[in-house]
Amino acid sequence: MGISYSTFEEEENFIHNKFGYCFYILGDISLIYNLYVYPKYRRCGHSRTLLQCVISEIRQKDYEGVIHIQAIPREDSIKLANLEKYYESMGLIILKERDNQ
């Protein structure tokens, strides 16, 4: 499975494969956002694969802090509570809206 990494801006990164894509920023904090798995590939473990690739990339860049993620369900594909539980099971810290302000 081919994974592609690209940098769009100085701190914004993009990872994608044929199953979906994800953005992340690595600066003062790390933030994963806009994770998307194409509908026909959902519930097959592809979001976990994308997240593991992003986490690995972040760690390879010598970032040792906590990794944050935005939990915003798209297209009513999953309930927010389930999404947050899933992300937390991967050791990620949910970035709440109020944390952005």
pLDDT per position in the chain (101 positions), as tens? 454 444 445 578 999 999 999 999 998 889 999 999 999 999 899 999 999 999 999 999 999 999 999 998 877 778 999 999 999 999 999 987 644 44
Find out whether 62 and 32 touch, Cβ atoms under 8 Å: no
pTM of this prediction exceeds 0.75 = yes
Q: Sign of the CA dihedral 96, 97, 100, 101? A: negative
CATH of 4-100 among 3.50.30.60, 3.50.50.60, 3.40.630.30, 3.40.30.10: 3.40.630.30
Q: Domain coordinates of the chain in residue numbers?
A: 4-100
- What is the reported pLDDT for 8? 40
Closest CA relative to residue 36, chosen from 22, 23, 16? 22
H helices within 1-101, ranges in order?
46-60, 80-89, 97-100
